[in-house]
Amino acid sequence: MWKTLLHKYRFEIIIGLLTLGVNFACFFLFVSLHNGDVLSTVRVDDGFYELAENVLAGNGFSWSTEAPYQPNSMRTPGYIWILAGLIAVFGVTGAAVVQVLLATLIPLLGMQIARQITDSKKIGIITGLILALDPSLTQLSFQFYTETAFLIFFLAWLLVTLRYFKQLTLPLLILSAVLFGGAILIKASVQYIPLILIPCIAWAHGLKNWRRSLTHIGLFLIIVGLMLAPWIVRNLHTFDTVGYSTQSTFVLYTNFAPAVITVAENHDFITFRNSFLGPGEFRGDAITFANQDRYKERAIEIILDHPAATAYIMAKSMFTFFTSDGWYSFLMQIKQDPNDYMFLLIVLRLLWIGITAAAFVGACIYIFTRLSPQTILVTALVAYFALVSTVAAFGTNPRYSLPVDPIIIPLAIIGVSALFSLIKQRLSARLRT
């Protein structure tokens, strides 16, 4: 039996072990570069560790380092609860190690998603191998960012949802809703995905089964709503506002608006942003549920006043979203001069430009040859995350595309295969003539 299982899942085992080896090698490298200090290795500047520590210390959901501990309205609680639990049980080092172990699931989930999209085991294996060697995923596997936990929930949700479209069963729908609720609790940026998902569910059931369709849609929304309700009630009790997170306003005002003015008036971005934002605004403490509308209106006013600069920022962010491979920042993190590897970096950037072009071709082929709720969902998700990334402006980085890399990579392989087939046909035709 064991031999049969090992043979059946040999590729999953190979990809899992490869991911584990690469992630731990990177973890030990980073720890050594930080003189053996694990905390400085895994701690990041987004305040997640501080929030987890305050939760454990009984100071509430706050990233303040001293009393009074101001309640935080920007971060969502999912990853904080997970991180606090891991630190409480295993300590900081143990939490990082457990996160590395869990990160092994990401390439495996990506592999299965690619197989669901293309019905090709080979494309799934190639996707899994690429994700196993991704420098951003490797680095994030032990750092206390939301990405590892979020990607596990989000990719698991996507995989279950793709299977749901093939079977339309209630258990798969319920599991999809639970996983999606977990993903929103970790990362607020996915909260509008139901606007894409709900029409796809309705389409999958068809007009004849509209009652069943409404039941499934309603159940999905109820489950997700019940999972988010405690946090919304907390915000109502703490801030007297029915709200979920101020993060979108924070990013719009502190990243996108300054970037637009920088381009429009030819300023240096960092210098201008430091003068544009106050200390509380820069960190996120100044933007609350009570005043976020004012900040949002100011940001929108800046955007509308500079349409050309806005279009440039969005186009640049989109380009970065689809072509940034993470190697530049990885070299910086390991204290290497990227200029010493410029040829390699250029080759990698050109490679990802090629992957993007091939994925576009593959997406067109995929939609026109397999039009279904599944094809619309996966292609719409790529567009969704690409649009979300534009708000980060100059801060757009490979972290934004990670949720849809398991979609982009197989679509690119479809595109490349189609191009090769076309070239082969042309060559054959010429040889015959």
Helices vs strands, H then E, count in the chain = 22, 0
Phi-psi region of 43 (alpha: psi -120 to 50; beta: other; left: phi over 0): beta
- Report cis status (omega within 30 of 0) of the bond before 68: yes
137 and 402 in contact (C-beta within 8 Å)? yes
Hey, how many other C-beta atoms are within 10 angstroms of the C-beta on 192?
14
Q: What residue type is assigned to position 405 of the chain?
A: D
Q: What residue type is assigned to position 260 of the chain?
A: V
Give the C-alpha separation, 371 to 352, whole Å.
26
The answer to whether the Cα torsion of 370, 371, 374, 377 is positive or negative is: positive
- 257-265 vs 292-305: helix crossing angle, rounded to 10: 30
Per-residue pLDDT of 270-284, as tens digits, reads 888 888 888 777 777
Per-residue pLDDT of 32-75, as tens digits, reads 999 999 999 999 888 899 999 999 999 999 988 888 888 988 89
Give the C-alpha separation, 305 to 260, whole Å.
10
Give 296-351 as a DSSP string: HHHHHHHHHH-HHHHHHHHHHHHHHHHH--SHHHHHHHTT--GGGGHHHHHHHHHH
Give the C-alpha separation, 243 to 233, whole Å.
9
Task: Give the model's pLDDT for residue 48.
Answer: 93
Give the C-alpha separation, 145 to 87, whole Å.
14
Of 6-10, 257-261, 285-289, 370-374, which range is least confident? 6-10
Tell me what the mean pLDDT of segment 401-430 comes to: 88
Per-residue pLDDT of 136-193, as tens digits, reads 999 999 999 999 999 999 999 999 999 999 999 999 999 999 999 999 999 999 999 9
Reported as a pLDDT band with limits 50, 70 and 90, residue 8 is confident
93 has a pLDDT exceeding 90? yes
**Torsion angles phi and psi, residue 336, rounded to 5:** -110, 145
Per-residue pLDDT of 285-337, as tens digits, reads 888 888 888 999 999 999 999 999 999 999 999 998 998 888 888 888 888 88
Task: Give the model's pLDDT for residue 284.
Answer: 76
Per-residue pLDDT of 194-233, as tens digits, reads 999 999 999 999 988 989 999 999 999 999 999 999 999 9
Task: Give the model's pLDDT for residue 328.
Answer: 85
**Torsion angles phi and psi, residue 191, rounded to 5:** -65, -20
318 and 386 in contact (C-beta within 8 Å)? yes
Residue 187, CA distances (Å) to 113, 148, 182, 325 in order: 20, 11, 9, 22
Of 117-131, 313-327, 398-412, which range is least confident? 313-327
Of 53-57, 169-173, 346-350, 378-382, which range is least confident? 346-350
Give the C-alpha separation, 188 to 412, whole Å.
28
Residue 179, CA distances (Å) to 153, 182, 191, 230, 287 in order: 6, 5, 13, 17, 29
List of residues 6+ apart from 230 with CB closer than 8 A: none
Task: Give the model's pLDDT for residue 1.
Answer: 67
119 and 165 in contact (C-beta within 8 Å)? no
Give the C-alpha separation, 212 to 411, whole Å.
32
Task: Give the model's pLDDT for residue 273.
Answer: 85
Alpha helices in 104-120 (DSSP H): 105-118
Task: Give the model's pLDDT for residue 386.
Answer: 93
Task: Give the model's pLDDT for residue 433.
Answer: 66
6 has a pLDDT exceeding 80? no
Tell me what the mean pLDDT of segment 346-350 comes to: 90
325 and 348 in contact (C-beta within 8 Å)? yes
Hey, how many other C-beta atoms are within 10 angstroms of the C-beta on 311?
12
Taking alpha carbons only, the member of 392, 400, 74 closest to residue 247 is 74
320 and 396 in contact (C-beta within 8 Å)? yes
Tell me what the mean pLDDT of segment 345-352 comes to: 90
Average pLDDT, the chain: 91
Taking alpha carbons only, the member of 420, 423, 383 closest to residue 403 is 383
